[in-house]
Amino acid sequence: MRRWVYNGFWVWLLTLSSLQAVSEPKSLWGIPISEYDSRRQALSKALESDQMAVLMAENEAPTRLRFRQENHFMYLTGVETPNAVLVILPEDSPLEERTILFLQRRSRASQIFEGPAPEPNEATRQELQVDAVRDRREFNEFLKETLTHHPRVVANRPARTALPEIACALETEAQVGTVEGMMARLRVVKSPAELALMRRAAQISAEAHQALARRVAPRVYEYELEAALLETYRRNGAQREAYPPIIGSGPNALILHYNANKRQMQAGELVLVDAGAEYSYYAADITRTYPVSGKFTPRQRELYNAVLEAMQLAEREAKPGVTLRDLHNKVVEFFRNHPLRAKDENGEERTLDTFFVHGLSHMVGMDVHDPGQSAPLQSGMVFTIEPGLYIPSEKIGIRIEDTYLMTERGAVSFTPNLPRQASDIERLVQQGRRAPQQPRQPAQPRQPAQRR
């Protein structure tokens, strides 16, 4: 009897903690459970009568990596467990249940070694507010039956990989397409709960940039700046980076997605830092450019100010109904008409638009490059403004980037207090010179990290 009570308590505790590990009551990951239900209903309404949506969770991560859920699956469930499947049927489906979640049943040994996970039972169904929760082993037979009513499947990335093989094994036919368009329309406008998480991600990222800036100095390695970022992320509860930090000093600032972060910075250079935290599955995206010596040279300052002026122009032009492409074209025109010039690799003098080589903006959300890139701006959308100039002949790369919420009155920065004026940037870097310095130990360059 005592052993039965102990085991029953253990299962209850594992299930409860898996559903509420990082949440408040009636929420998961800071999102109300009722909001996940509303999202699923919205997707159900978007489906045609002969369609169904199949979204698979990620597989278990390799031992050396921390598991991260697939974003569409997470957006619709809030469940951070591998090998699960969510099926959503259209409103007019002849089948009784519209939202069915398939969960892998774990052994007691698996729970001990891998931690708690929601179980396929009635308690989980009630907690998550879905129509049914079933054992993952029942999915193939369910799919075979459901395809007779809904042969057109829209699926997320993991499902598009697995479904054709499953359908072939079941000797049934399925027309497998992508759910990306439908999910982009759902995800592009952020709810108040999402915005609260994104503001927190941005606040943590801004604090991390300031901690990093105080470490900028000649002979410091790029990865030492990265260490300041990551320490601040973790200390403030950010689970991971939103993307591998880009910390490019000198010529490395010319490489847009450089993230080896192993070079030693030199006096007189600039260091471009593009880095943002992920908080509760929501990303921030911030870039600043710092003078390694603590002061911009006259040439660096005039180019930096040109980038900042372009950013301020885009901020003013960002209004409901405007597209990100419209904003990009405005900045290209600004650089083309700017009085400053620079020489290209062949020594020919060019207007500054020649050296603006990437897009100005992108949407931000669960992905740092979130879906909905082409949609006209409307209230509740979150996007970046990030002009830059990259001049190989001068070994200068400059980018400034902030994340913005679109409102009826215009774009509002998530980090209005993070310095970006040239003099304020200099002052921030110089603050680190006044702090006591620890004796420097020899450091070995590290190997490149995975690209963003």
Residue 89 — φ and ψ, nearest 5°? -105, 155
Mean pLDDT of successive 10-residue segments in the chain (452 residues)?
43 46 69 97 97 95 86 97 96 95 86 82 95 96 95 95 89 91 97 98 98 97 98 97 98 96 98 98 98 98 98 98 98 98 96 98 97 94 98 97 97 97 98 63 48 38
Quote the CA–CA distance of 197 and 44 in Å, as a whole number: 26
- 138: DSSP letter: G
Quote the CA–CA distance of 422 and 296 in Å, as a whole number: 8
pLDDT for 10 equals 41
The structure tokens 């100039």 sit at 389
∠131-133-139 over CA atoms, to 5°? 110
Alpha helices in 65-132 (DSSP H): 71-77, 108-114, 122-128
Quote the CA–CA distance of 367 and 351 in Å, as a whole number: 34
Quote the CA–CA distance of 339 and 319 in Å, as a whole number: 27
Q: What is the CA radius of gyration of the chain?
A: 25
The 10s digit of each residue's pLDDT in 360-416 is: 999 999 999 999 989 999 999 999 999 999 999 999 999 999 999 999 999 999 999
Q: What is the dihedral of CA 230, 232, 237, 240, to 10 degrees?
A: -20
- Structure token digits, residue 202: 């941005």
The CATH number of 192-434 is: 3.90.230.10
Contact in structure between 116 and 15 (CB atoms under 8 Å): yes
Strand ranges, E, within 43-185: 51-56, 85-88, 99-103, 132-135, 152-155, 175-178
Residues 6+ apart with CB under 8 A from 443: 221, 223, 224
Count of beta carbons in the 10 Å neighbourhood of residue 70: 19
pLDDT for 109 equals 78
- Structure token digits, residue 356: 């603006």
pLDDT for 115 equals 78
Quote the CA–CA distance of 146 and 139 in Å, as a whole number: 10
Start-end of CATH 3.90.230.10 domains in the chain: 192-434
Start-end of CATH 3.40.350.10 domains in the chain: 2-187
pLDDT for 288 equals 98
pLDDT for 230 equals 97
pTM: 0.89
pLDDT for 391 equals 98
CATH topology of domain 2-187: Creatine Amidinohydrolase; Chain A, domain 1 (3.40.350)
pLDDT for 441 equals 55
pLDDT for 61 equals 80
Closest by alpha carbon to 280, among 220, 238, 218?
A: 238
Categorise residue 259: left if φ over 0, alpha if ψ from -120 to 50, beta otherwise.
alpha
